[in-house]
Structure formats: structure tokens, C-alpha cells
Amino acid sequence: MKLINGKIDEFLDNDSMGIFGFEEEEEQHSPCWEVKIDREDKKAMIFLIDGKEKLSCSLSKLDKSFLTIEKISELIAYLRQEDFDGLRKVLGMKKRGR
């Protein structure tokens, strides 16, 4: 994120208008954490890292209080730590394999 913010600041500081990009040698990769609410197909709250599904919880089993920005932000903290057991516990899910 620092790299992106730095590039945006650099772009805004220049008087010229144009397109800016990342140099290959500067490119840095970091995980992308997402929480997706799929109300149509899976009917689940889906937790993804770099676009790969890591955990999903059925919306029918999920307390509606989890569908707020504040709660989702808390859940993302567990996702960022890859604490799936903690995430399952907070969501009221059973541990895997039990």
C-alpha cells in the first residue's frame, strides 16, 4: 500500500497530466484480503486471499449483525492473520473435521 500511495503522491505533485504505472523492478506483491457477500449463488459470506476462497459461511447460519462494515472489518483482521480457527469461532462455526 505504501508503494501505491507513494506513486499517487508523486503523480499528484507533478503538474503534468498523464498515466502513471509501476516499474517492473519496483513492483511489490502483497496479499489481497477480501470478504464477499454472495446473496445469489452460494448464499454465503466468502473469505478470500488473493482471489482464492479460504472459508465460507452460509448466510442462513450467520447472525445478521455480521453484515455491517464494522463487523466485517473485525473479520478481515482474522483473515489477515490467517487465523481461520479464530474466524470460525467468531462466526459460530464448528471447527473443521468435527
The pLDDT score that the predictor gives to residue 10 is: 57
Q: In the prediction, which pLDDT does 20 show? A: 46
Q: Is 24 exposed, middle or buried (0-12, 13-18, 19+ CB in 10 A)?
A: exposed
Confidence label for 9 from pLDDT (cuts 50, 70 and 90): low
Helix segments in 1-98, DSSP class H: 2-13, 69-80, 84-91
Please give the pLDDT value at position 87: 94
What is the overall mean pLDDT for the chain?
A: 77
69-80 vs 84-91: helix axis angle to the nearest 10? 150
* Distance between CA atoms of residues 2 and 26, nearest Å: 12
